[in-house]
Amino acid sequence: MNSNLRKKGLTDAQVGVLLILPGLAVFCAIILYPFVNAILMSFTDRSLLMPNYKVVGLENYIKVFSDPYFGKTLITTILFVIGSTLLPFTLGFIWAIILNQGFKGSELLRGITLVNWIIPGTAIGFLWSWIFNGQYGILNAILTRTGLLETGVAWLGQTNTALICVIIARSWQMLPWYMAFLLGGLGGVPLDQVEAARVDGANNLQVFRYVVLPSMKTIILLILVLGTIGNLQHFDLPWTMTQGGPARATTTLSIDVYTTAFDNWNIGKAATIGTIWAVLLGLFSFVYLKQVKDSD
């Protein structure tokens, strides 16, 4: 077949295009077409329960923007994204600095740390639901035994604590991811510059501030943007831990799109929320693309 290809006189360019076709086909079927179709659906009253639908123009958008819950969902999403990006980034950075010291067993610790990231979100959701359990959870046991709390708290059942709990679980899941990149970044810090700064009398903090941070700027920016995109998309933990509750306290945009479409069957409205969300994501992706382009 191979030599046949050549005999038929396929040019190199044609072979190149042939090779790209499977990927392009999947991309069109699973990303491009669904994306365009979802935007179109946002202008209809389509429901998953009924085969017929009609175009309703901007009605869904007016409904979504006048829905008081939507503003709350946006705020919840932003809080979730900020918390779930900055907390694991900070902890992951410190952890990377610790492990980068190269003490006995640091390689092993790095490996075990990554297990948290690789296991299914469902398992992580179960685990943290158990830790935060209001009746028998270990967190309450520790806090009441040490006298920090008098009685246990239903951490996931209260609107003012549920989101924080989900952010903590998400941070636990993502810390290894940030650590892996930052360890790579720390490995690339030019040691001669560190030495030069030492000669100039710089202390640890100054070395960190004026040598380490600048030389890791690209990787830091990159993982913050990638982390933000990932968190804007995140679904598993709020779903397994609280299903978006209590009283929508953990309903982020991805949870909202899912429940609107597959619990309330209102796929038109879900597509509207999704489209607005895509615009948000688009802004971040723009930064991301620019970043990758500049670093090339």
Instruction: Name the residue nearer to another protein (CB basis): 2 or 66.
Output: 2
Contact 56, 44 (CB under 8 A): yes
| Shortest distance in whole angstroms from residue 149 CB to another protein | 15
Give 72 or 110: the residue with its C-beta nearer to another protein. 110
Query: In angstroms, rounded to a whole number, what is the distance separating the alpha carbons of residues 46 and 50?
Result: 8
Q: Are 34 and 270 in contact (CB under 8 A)?
A: no
Q: CB nearer to another protein: give 34 or 214.
A: 34
- Shortest distance in whole angstroms from residue 128 CB to another protein: 7
Angle at 96 between CA 93 and CA 97, to 5 degrees: 90
Backbone phi, then psi, for 71, in 5-degree steps?
A: -60, -40
**Could you tell me the smallest distance in angstroms from the CB atom of residue 60 to another protein?**
13
Q: How far apart are CA 275 and CA 74, in angstroms?
A: 13
Contact 212, 246 (CB under 8 A): no
Based on CB atoms, which residue is closest to another protein, 211 or 249?
Answer: 211
What token pair was written down for 113?
């740390």
Q: How far is the CB of 38 from another protein (least distance, A)?
A: 4
Q: Quote the least distance from Cβ 181 to another protein, whole Å.
A: 6
Number of residues assigned to the chain:
296
Nearest to 281 by CA among 238, 244, 252, 260: 252
Bridge partners (DSSP) listed for residue 55? 44
Is 148 strand, coil or helix?
A: coil
Name which of 33 and 69 has its Cβ closer to another protein. Answer: 33
Contacts of 68 (CB under 8 A, 6+ apart): none
Q: Which is nearer to another protein, 106 or 158 (CB)?
A: 106
Residue 242 CB, shortest distance to another protein, in Å, is: 10
Residue 50 is given by DSSP the state: -
Q: In terms of CB distance, is 80 or 181 closer to another protein?
A: 181
Contact 273, 253 (CB under 8 A): yes
Contacts of 212 (CB under 8 A, 6+ apart): 186, 189, 194
Least distance in angstroms from the C-beta of 86 to another protein = 15
- CA–CA distance, 190 with 196 (Å, rounded to integer): 10
Which is closer to another protein, CB of 70 or CB of 284? 284
The nearest distance, CB 118 to another protein, in angstroms, is 5
